Amino acid sequence: MKPAEYHLTENPRLQRWCGGIGLAALLLCAVGYAANPVQFHHSWLAAHFFVISIALGALIFTMILHLTGATWSVPVRRLFENLAAPMPLFFILFLPVLSGVHELYHWSHGEAVAKDPLLQLKAPYLNQVFFAVRTVIYFAVWTFLACRLRHLSLQQDEGDDHSERLRRTSAAGVILFALTLTFAAFDWFMSLDAHWYSTIFGLYIFSGCVVAGLAAVILLARHLQSRGHLVETIGIQQYHDLGKLLFAFTVFWAYMAVSQYFLIWYGNIPEETIWYHHRWHGSWKVVSLLLVFGHFLVPFVLLLTRWAKRNLAVLAGFSIWLLFMHWVDLQWLVMPSLHKEGFVFSWMDGTALAGCAGLYLKYLGWLLRRSALAPVGDPRFEEAVDMNR
Amino acid sequence: MSSIHQHEQQWIEGQPTFGGLTDQVSALVENKTPRGWYIALAVSSSLTVVLLALIGYLVTRGIGVWGNNIPVAWAWDIVNFVFWIGIGHAGTLISAILFLLRQQWRTSINRFAEAMTIFAVICALIFPSIHVGRIWFIYWLFPLPNQMSMWPNFRSPLLWDVFAVSTYFTVSLLFWYVGLVPDLATMRDRARTRLKKITLGILALGWRGGNRQWQHYEMAYLLLAGLSTPLVLSVHSVVSTDFATSVIPGWHTTIFPPYFVAGAIFSGFAMVTTLAIIVRQVFSLQNIITVRHLENMCKIMLVTGLMVGYAYGVEFFIAWYSGNIYERFTFLNRAFGPYAWAYWIMISCNVLVPQLFWFKKLRTSIPVMFIAALLINVGMWFERFVIIVSSLSRDFLPGAWGYYKPSWVDVGIFAGSFGLFFTLFLLFIRFLPIIAMSEVKGILPQAHAAVDPSAGEHHTRRS
């Protein structure tokens, strides 16, 4: 086996550029902040969550794979672990949101709350201090889980067997993850419209994260393989299985989206329908329809086939497409509270995304170079790799 | 399908041969009927007679013989419907979703879990049918062309129920039957009387077990599994819309579809576990349905129990967060109102009891899991009771509030539905192979003997 199989030594040019592009974009964002803080904060919230949702999807998958004791997925698990690990970076990148609560959230305006009995009722939950405390808790939980899972897994490379500890961490982790992500979804996105509420909202955000995490892992695996790594480790069977999961969670996303939309449409209570009304106004209507077709119907029909899941170019294409749709989904969730008349693409959407993604990729590249690209010490590793032969 | 390796778990204990396995499972049907079976059948069929008699009474006197009264127009009848439909989810989950997830342990339990599904759906179908009142017009549920151009309301979730449940029943039955075909052929070949030979011969559809037939069979099974998977999710989602499309606080909430599905799988696994424990004990199938199978089922109950607990929590939080006084009242009323006893039974059985399964010692202990599974079934019945009755009994108009009490007919019909369920189940275990012999053989080590041992290649059954 070639040494390159499990080790990334070179620092490709693209990788080197990521950090620079990210920092440059951050500088532009600072200009944007000075020019239009409200737009900046909305752009930043959507862009930040787009990138962290990849990490969150990867984190939940790492835990699920430990809990189910799956063998097929062992060769790709390190990629999930690495995708999830840059959580501390995300906390730092979230600071602009914490500083921009006033620009983003109507409930933080004292004079608005004074006139609004509903917001007064919600004030024990929706207030700036508790919001910040909760955010710190979410990041603490995610950072702890992502770092511990990766750390234990790396120790296995040295020959220790931590399977049991990994399982235990994952079991508690899944519960902590479900709670933190649900409340993060309520806090960051649902409370943008402080009057509106939906019990499925946490699951909706979760489903988007999983799709993003799976799409990213497929792309990362393809990228590494194209550079000559993991070539004999990750085979068509893994891609096929990842493709099936991508398909399944695309359907799951649609199931969540339909459950929410459909029940609100049918109940037809104004305080609930208003949220969709905003998203059916002006060009938001087009974005809504784009999600129906682009995030569900088209990928559903095409990814259903065995051919699409086993044709790596097609699978990678769908991964990119679904990541794009996930970005559209987040725009659709965040922006109607700012641009009520229709979808507007701000240059800050671009720079915020480039900033967050650039630093994330830089961090990811650094993590990838620091350790083996696959959990070579996992007790099931040999068996899993054998399956590809 | 993945190749089998040495350290990969052997699900069947005692290393039976193919023939030994066939003998063991077929013997349950071919042996002389045990006396216990007659006693059990006497009890369950007596209860079935109670069910039929009370349905007759209900049809002649009208549904006023139930405790239902405004504002609680839906009560035990709908509770029982959702309860039985929920139980009917485990079978198809095991046979379809666990099949697609390549979970080999499903083979030991899928046959009777699927049978249980079908019987539970039959029990479920009774309740809405008799709840319509004038059962002789039941065909109006279907969109039949007629001269008056009278159609059911296609926007009504009650109509979707008709379609969803009947589709589910049909597909589950087909799936079960397709899975049975190779085993029916085995039984046919072993049959000693002419009548049995002919009956089983017809049912086995001319199965000879040739390579071609197996190929078609496996493709058909895979397709049916693919088709059944969305059904597992859709049926209870549709059932949840019976409530969630209304505007009643406690019913109208967007998490209902996935929450109902999780609850259905939870209760279904509890029932499968209950039956599996009895069946393996009575028929000495401990080598086929091992403690590890049961342990896996406990894990699924733990996971789905946590999901259900998540939904309870989120509903409660959002009721507060909404700031809507009706939402807030409904949930406080559930927890501390006149039906608080039902609410806390639900919480204890569905959220607290499954936490036992965190401990390996407890989830591998047969008595613990048996009692826990029974309690979960109780809890899941109460969940539907809490959702339906507590929300209705105190709605928007305090002047119309009431306290629902079931009548003896309610109790009798519910008990009778258990009679029907167990009667069908007893007939099944007497006349059909309760373990999917051909599938269990497929996961025995000798089914995966290397094609060419020197090359170290692995024979795969399906790739």
What is the tens place of the pLDDT at every residue in B97-116? 888 888 888 888 888 899 99
Q: Which of B6, B102, B255, B463 to mutate to test the interface with A (most CBs of A within 10 A)?
A: B255
Q: Residue B314: which of A117, A122, A199 has the nearest Cβ?
A: A199
Start-end of H helices in B62-94: 76-87, 89-92
Contact A61, A210 (CB under 8 A): yes
Mean per-residue pLDDT, B51-79: 93
How many domains does chain A contain in total? 1
Chain B residues close to A256, C-beta within 8 Å: 258
Cα(B181)–Cα(B202) distance, integer angstroms: 10
**pTM: predicted TM-score of the whole model, two decimal places:** 0.93
Chain B residues close to A260, C-beta within 8 Å: 254
- B156 lies within 8 A of chain A by CB: no
Residue of chain A whose Cα is closest to the Cα of B248: A267
pLDDT for B451 equals: 52
User: What percent of chain B shows pLDDT beyond 90?
Assistant: 64
Place of tokens 């059944």: B228
- Domain range for A357: 3-386
Q: ∠A140-A202-A118 over CA atoms, to 5°? A: 100
Q: Which of B222, B256, B321, B359 to mutate to test the interface with A (most CBs of A within 10 A)?
A: B321
Q: What is the CATH number of the domain that holds B292?
A: 1.20.1630.10
Instruction: Indicate yes or no: CB of A266 within 8 angstroms of CB of B255.
Output: no
- A164 lies within 8 A of chain B by CB: no
Instruction: Indicate yes or no: CB of A200 within 8 angstroms of CB of B254.
Output: yes
pLDDT for B450 equals: 56
The SS3 assignment for B69 reads: strand
- Domain range for B371: 17-443
CA distance A204 to chain B (A): 10
Q: How far is CA A374 from CA A73, A232, B21, in A?
A: 10, 11, 41
Q: Which helix (H) or strand (E) holds B379?
A: helix B366-385
Q: Which of B322, B332, B363, B460 to mutate to test the interface with A (most CBs of A within 10 A)?
A: B322
Q: Residue B314: which of A72, A202, A387 has the nearest Cβ?
A: A202
Q: Is B463 domain-assigned?
A: no
pLDDT for A50 equals: 97
Instruction: Indicate yes or no: CB of A259 within 8 angstroms of CB of B237.
Output: yes
- Confidence check: pLDDT of B457 > 80: no
Mean pLDDT of chain A: 93
User: Residue B180 — pLDDT band, cuts 50, 70, 90?
Assistant: very high
Instruction: Indicate yes or no: CB of A200 within 8 angstroms of CB of B255.
Output: yes
Mean per-residue pLDDT, B432-437: 89
Chain A residues close to B7, C-beta within 8 Å: 383
pLDDT for B10 equals: 77
Instruction: Indicate yes or no: CB of B254 within 8 angstroms of CB of A386.
Output: no
Mean per-residue pLDDT, B70-85: 93
- A202 lies within 8 A of chain B by CB: yes
Instruction: Indicate yes or no: CB of A267 within 8 angstroms of CB of B233.
Output: no
Chain B residues close to A182, C-beta within 8 Å: 310, 314
CB proximity under 8 Å: B 163-192 to A: none
Give residue B38's Cα distance to chain centre. 25
Q: How far is CA B174 from CA B225, B244, B434, B441, in A?
A: 11, 31, 17, 22
CA distance A197 to chain B (A): 6
- Confidence check: pLDDT of B5 > 50: no
List, for residues B31-53, the tens digit of each pLDDT value: 888 899 999 999 999 999 999 99
Mean pLDDT of chain B: 89
Q: How far is CA B437 from CA B208, B221, B354, B434, in A?
A: 15, 15, 31, 9
CA distance A164 to chain B (A): 13
Q: ∠A81-A164-A63 over CA atoms, to 5°? A: 35
Mean per-residue pLDDT, B421-445: 89
Instruction: Indicate yes or no: CB of A267 within 8 angstroms of CB of B247.
Output: yes
Instruction: Indicate yes or no: CB of B241 within 8 angstroms of CB of A263.
Output: yes
Q: Is B163 domain-assigned?
A: yes
- Confidence check: pLDDT of B3 > 80: no
Q: Residue A199: which of B2, B7, B253 has the nearest Cβ?
A: B253
- A267 lies within 8 A of chain B by CB: yes
- B310 lies within 8 A of chain A by CB: yes
Mean per-residue pLDDT, B198-204: 92
Chain A residues close to B246, C-beta within 8 Å: 267
- A121 lies within 8 A of chain B by CB: yes
CA distance A264 to chain B (A): 7
Instruction: Indicate yes or no: CB of B252 within 8 angstroms of CB of A200.
Output: no
Instruction: Indicate yes or no: CB of B254 within 8 angstroms of CB of A201.
Output: yes
Q: Which of B10, B12, B102, B9 is nearest to B289 (CA)?
A: B12
Mean per-residue pLDDT, B206-215: 90
Q: Residue B322: which of A175, A197, A255 has the nearest Cβ?
A: A197
Chain A residues close to B226, C-beta within 8 Å: none
- Confidence check: pLDDT of B462 > 70: no
The greatest distance separating any two alpha carbons of chain B, rounded to the nearest whole angstrom, comes to 83
- A256 lies within 8 A of chain B by CB: yes
The SS3 assignment for A132 reads: helix
Mean per-residue pLDDT, B239-258: 94
Chain B residues close to A243, C-beta within 8 Å: none
In B277-408 the beta strands, taken as DSSP E runs, fall at none
Query: Pick the residue with more confidence: B280 or B459?
Result: B280
Instruction: Indicate yes or no: CB of A269 within 8 angstroms of CB of B252.
Output: yes
Cα(B358)–Cα(B364) distance, integer angstroms: 11
- Confidence check: pLDDT of B240 > 80: yes
Instruction: Indicate yes or no: CB of A199 within 8 angstroms of CB of B254.
Output: yes
- A383 lies within 8 A of chain B by CB: yes
pLDDT for B7 equals: 41
Instruction: Indicate yes or no: CB of B257 within 8 angstroms of CB of A259.
Output: yes
The sign one gets for the Cα dihedral B34, B35, B40, B42 is positive
pLDDT for A10 equals: 75
Cα(A362)–Cα(A86) distance, integer angstroms: 10
Chain A residues close to B306, C-beta within 8 Å: 175
- Confidence check: pLDDT of B1 > 50: no
Residues pairing with B69 in the sheet? B72
pLDDT for A189 equals: 96
CB proximity under 8 Å: B 237-266 to A: 237, 241, 244-247, 252-258
Instruction: Indicate yes or no: CB of A203 within 8 angstroms of CB of B258.
Output: yes
Q: How far is CA A322 from CA A83, A246, A249, B19, in A?
A: 17, 9, 11, 51
First to last CA, chain A: 14
- A167 lies within 8 A of chain B by CB: no
How many domains does chain B contain in total? 1
pLDDT for B9 equals: 65
Q: Is B105 domain-assigned?
A: yes
CA distance B226 to chain A (A): 11
Query: Which residue numbers in chain A have pLDDT < 70?
Result: 1-3, 12, 14, 389
List, for residues B333-361, the tens digit of each pLDDT value: 999 999 999 999 999 999 999 999 999 99
CA distance B15 to chain A (A): 23
CA distance A57 to chain B (A): 18
Instruction: Indicate yes or no: CB of A266 within 8 angstroms of CB of B256.
Output: no
- A71 lies within 8 A of chain B by CB: yes
Query: Pick the residue with more confidence: A38 or B450?
Result: A38
CA distance A27 to chain B (A): 38
In three-state form (DSSP H/G/I as H, E/B as E, the rest C), the secondary structure along B410-441 is HHHHHHHHHHHHHHHHHHHHHHCCCCCHHHHH
Q: Residue B321: which of A71, A125, A267 has the nearest Cβ?
A: A125
Q: Which of A99, A108, A199, A91 is nearest to A144 (CA)?
A: A91
